[in-house]
Amino acid sequence: MKFEIVTDNGSVETAIPEKNLITLFNETSTFDWMPQKDGSFTVKLDHSFYKLYNVQVNGTKVSFQHKSNLYQFTVKDEMAILMEKMGFNDSSDSTEGKIAAPMPGKIISVTVAIGDKVEIGQAVIILEAMKMENELKTTFAGTVKSIAVIAGQSVEKGELLLEIE
According to the model, what pLDDT value does residue 48 have?
95
Q: pTM for this structure? A: 0.50
Q: Output the tens digit of pLDDT for each of the chain's 165 residues.
A: 888 888 888 888 888 888 889 998 889 999 998 998 888 899 999 999 999 998 887 778 888 999 989 989 988 888 777 777 766 654 444 456 888 888 889 999 999 999 999 988 788 999 998 788 888 888 778 999 999 999 999 999 888 999 998
Domains of the chain: 2-77 (no CATH), 91-164 (2.40.50.100)
| DSSP assignment letter at 82 | H
Q: Could you tell me which residues come within 8 angstroms of residue 32 by beta carbon, excluding any fewer than 6 positions away?
A: 20, 43, 44
